[in-house]
Amino acid sequence: MIRMSEPILEIVNLRKYFPIMGGVLLRQVSAIHAVDGVSFDIKHGETLGLVGESGCGKTTLSRVVLRLIEPTSGTVRYMGRDLFELSEKEMRKLRLEMAMIFQDPYASLNPRMTLADIVGEPLTIHGLARGEERKKRIIEVVKKVGLAPFHMYRYPHEFSGGEKQRIGIARTLTSNPKLLVADEPVSSLDVSVRAQILNLLKDLQEEFRFTYLYISHDLSTVKHMCDRVAVMYVGKVVELAPVKDLYINPLHPYTEALISAIPVPGRRAGENRIILKGAVPTPIDPPPGCRFNPRCPYSEPICAKEDPKFIEVRKGHFVACHLRK
Amino acid sequence: MSESLLRVNDLKTYFFTAEGVVKAVDNVNIEIKKEEVLGLVGESGCGKSTVALSVMRLVRDPGKIVGGEIWFNGEDLLKKGEGEMRKIRGAEISIIFQNPMSSLNPVFTVGSQIAEAIKLHQNVEKDKIKGKVAEILGKVGIPDPPKRMEDYPHEYSGGMAQRAMIAMALSCNPKLLIADEPTTNLDVTIQAQILELMKDLRKDFGASILLIGHDLGVISELSDKIAVMYAGKVVEYSDLTGIFQKPMHPYTQALLESIPRLDVETDRLRIIPGRVPRLINPPSGCRFHSRCEHTMKVCTEKEPLLTEVGQDHMVACHLHTSDSKSSNRRR
């Protein structure tokens, strides 16, 4: 039996730099520090939210975690096994247990394949089922996500955005995964459709005991979906806490600003809204010390010199900030 | 304050496509008073952007304004010739779009693009134009304007490009600013900056704003009045309290309950069954009837009209109109 409190995924000091080539000889002149020393665990059956603004490295992190791209350094252990030491073949087998739901259902479905082809493809690739059994399994999955069997031979363009996202989810279900990485699964959908998909993701988690890594920039949705939340800023995780803790008592100045910046329906922001100066720095040449220090309202001299350590200041509440020692 | 600046009466904008006539905007009435901000909300395809383009008279083929009146400052814009409209666009009514990067021309400097608007609409001496451009860029919070105005759009970040667009839109002191999803592509912290900027500018410039968007949070930040659109029609109109505390239309109610909110704990979100109808063949009667939980017989037969239900609160729903209440009891 798997114990719920044990991690399904352990990320240790993970880095991913993308080289920038330049000069006459096209040598590496610099690098994009997309993910720069990230460590955290995901427990069995939980939903871990990963939030941050565009370019903070959250999508790169999700790709490295599934080993869709190779890391520069660091370790990712899935149920105790180091992913980067596995051979292609072993990795392929493991991919049955990990799946990804993409942001844009319009771009992530092959327009020349029918719903049945798309959903059944994992069964063929992994040799899981054939013939009648395959068909049975496809119908089962299609029904699970709220589509009807008569939709089976339709092509993606015949579906609405919400239905396309259901297909994207159905495709991940066929192989009985344990860990699902959802990268902005509802951000391209309309408000009323968004609710349908979010509820579906919650229902499926309840039924199949999925573990989710839920990536988004929308803090309202993350609060609704997640048990714990990690906040990323320019390649680093700056805060990690249980969802309630994080929203009620954010410890990192960036998290605080991020939460106060969300417009709440029916209300106007008062004087206490924190408006950050400037924009997110580029990950090519991140600021020295704490990466948030140029925009931080509480910045002190030490912040520009030393990189703050990611420490547990309360039970389960981690933060990387010099002011919170 | 109470004087009306823009009044749209029974506006109909249809798109004549090969598949049929898409009634994108169908009998829409809105009003914006001087110095007021009207928020126009709705899901994609509800016709909110088409309303904006109709006011600017920028609806392109196969779209056509087929009926109604657009009264702006005492004149019907639909009776104006193209030449007259050109004088109004940019000078009296200006618009900012969702994607600032694609609205700026990549081969000209930001400064020269703002200067163009000033040259076209204002009598400013040649040698003073640059100073004016720098002044306005400073007002929207661009650091070091004399230097940054010589930059090309790609040298700006998304937030800065949107600031430049706002500068351009305000450069001729328009009476009406139309902002079509002005912060949709921006990050949360940058969005907060732009909203704050728009709040400040509103005080300085005294322009009325038509703010279009799908995010009820963003709309709440700026709007005095809010109009909710569904499938080409305005279904509810009220102020902030009316829409959020006492929503009357079932669509508004469902919409509010279907969004995850920071200030409310919910385990499951409300789902609006079905999907937004296609506007080639919209449902008879009330366009929301097939997705509504209060549907009555009259809803499928007769179109509900916007009716006053309280001070500054109008709703288009048979549940709240007197004639249907007497003949059709609520279930």
Could you read off the pLDDT of A194-239 as tens digits, one per residue?
899 999 999 999 999 999 999 999 999 999 999 999 999 999 999 9
pLDDT band at residue B328 using 50, 70 and 90 as cut-offs: very low
Q: Which residues of A touch B244 (CB under 8 A)?
A: 265-267
Q: What mean pLDDT do residues A162-171 have?
A: 92
Supply the pLDDT for residue B227: 97
Question: Strand A98-101 relative to strand A179-183: parallel, antiparallel, unpaired?
Answer: parallel
The DSSP code sequence of B28-63 is EEEEEETT-EEEEE--TTSSHHHHHHHHTT-PPTTE
Q: Rounded to whole angstroms, how far apart are CA atoms B208 and B210? A: 7
Q: Do A264 and B196 touch (CB under 8 A)?
A: no
Q: Residue B1 has what pLDDT?
A: 47
Of A192, A266, A279, the CB nearest to B258: A192
Taking CB atoms and an 8 Å cutoff, what residues of chain B touch A279?
Answer: 157, 159-160, 190
Residue A111: other Cβ atoms inside 10 A: 9
Residues from chain A contacting residue B189 (CB–CB below 8 Å): 53, 257-258, 261, 275-276, 280
Q: Percent of chain A at pLDDT above 70?
A: 98
Q: In 3-state terms, what secondary structure has residue B317?
A: coil
Task: Give the position of tokens 């030491």.
Answer: A85
Contact residues, chain A, for B43 at CB < 8 Å:
190-192
Nearest to A53 among B187, B244, B276 (CB): B187
Query: Contact B118/B130 with Cβ under 8 angstroms?
Result: no
Q: Do the strands A73-78 and B208-213 form a parallel or antiparallel pair, or are they unpaired?
A: unpaired
Distance from CA of A165 to the nearest CA of B (A): 14
Report the gap between the CA of B140 and the closest CA in chain A (Å). Answer: 13
pLDDT at position A65 is: 92
- The whole-angstrom distance between A291's CA and the closest CA on chain B is 16
Q: What is the reported pTM?
A: 0.87
* B261–chain A nearest CA distance, Å: 5
Contact B189 A199 (CB under 8 A): no
In the stretch 188-227 of chain B, residues with CB closer than 8 A to chain A read 188-193, 195-196, 214-221
pLDDT, one tens digit per residue, over A113-153 is 999 999 999 999 888 888 899 999 999 999 999 999 898 99
Task: Using CB atoms, pick whichever of B159, B189, B271 lies closest to residue A257.
Answer: B189
CA distance B91 to chain A (A): 30
CB contact under 8 A, A261 and B189: yes
Query: Measured between CA atoms, how close is B148 to chain A, in angstroms?
Result: 15
Chain B's closest residue to A162, CA to CA, is B275
Nearest chain A residue to B253 by CA: give it: A192
Closest residue by Cα to residue B182 from A282, B167, B174, B171: B167
pLDDT digits 0-9 by tens, B103-154: 899 999 999 999 998 998 888 888 999 999 999 999 898 888 999 999 999 9
pLDDT at B326: 42
Cβ–Cβ gap A265/B275 under 8 Å: no
Q: What is the DSSP letter of B89?
A: B
* pLDDT of res. B325: 47
Mean pLDDT of B214-225: 92
Q: What is the three-class DSSP state of A313? A: strand
Q: For residues B293 and B273, give the distance between their C-alpha atoms in angstroms, rounded to a whole number.
A: 9
Q: Residue A29 — very low, low, confident or very high, per pLDDT cuts 50/70/90?
A: confident
**Nearest beta carbon to residue B220 from set A257, A266, A275:** A266
Distances, alpha carbon A87 to alpha carbons A81, A122, B25, B122, in Å: 12, 20, 58, 69
Enclosing H/E stretch for B217: helix B216-222
Q: How far apart are CA B156 and CA B158, in angstroms?
A: 7
Residues A264 and B261: beta-carbon distance below 8 Å: yes
Distance (Å, rounded) from C-alpha B130 to C-alpha B121? 15
**A263: DSSP letter:** P
pLDDT at site B4: 92
pLDDT at B323 over 70: no
- pLDDT of A269 over the 90 cut: no
CB within 8 Å: A268 and B196: no
Residue B262 with chain A: CB contacts under 8 Å:
219-220, 223, 247, 259, 262, 264
Q: Count A/B contacts: CB-CB distance under 8 Å.
A: 120
Is the predicted pLDDT of residue A310 greater than 70, yes or no? yes
Q: How confident is the model at residue A103 (pLDDT cuts 50, 70, 90)?
A: confident
Does residue B83 surpass a pLDDT of 60? yes
B292 chain-A contacts, CB cut-off 8 A: none
Residue with tokens 């400040």: B200
Residues in chain A within 8 Å Cβ distance of B187: 53-54, 217, 280
Give the minimum alpha-carbon distance from B189 to chain A in angstroms, rounded to a whole number: 6
The answer to whether the CB atoms of A266 and B243 lie below 8 A apart is yes
The DSSP symbol for B288 reads T
Asked whether the predicted pLDDT for residue A252 surpasses 90, the reply is yes
Q: What are phi and psi of B262, to 5 degrees?
A: -70, -30
pLDDT number for residue A4:
57
The mean pLDDT value for A21-35 works out to 88
pLDDT exceeds 60 at position B193: yes
DSSP states of A77-137: EETTEEGGGS-HHHHHHHTTTEEEE-S-TTTSS-TTS-HHHHHHHHHHHTT---HHHHHHH
Residue A308: phi, psi to the nearest 5? -70, 145
Please give the average per-residue pLDDT across A64-89, as a whole number: 93
What is the structure's pLDDT at B123?
A: 85
Question: Does residue A289 carry a pLDDT above 90?
Answer: yes
CA A267 to chain centre: 29
Average pLDDT estimate for A143-167: 91
User: Burial letters for A223-255: b for 16+ Cβ neighbours within 10 Å, e otherwise?
Assistant: bbbbbbbbbbbbbbbbbbbbbebbbeebbbbbb
Extract the tokens encoding A5: 């409190």
CA angle A24–A26–A32, rounded 5-degree value: 130
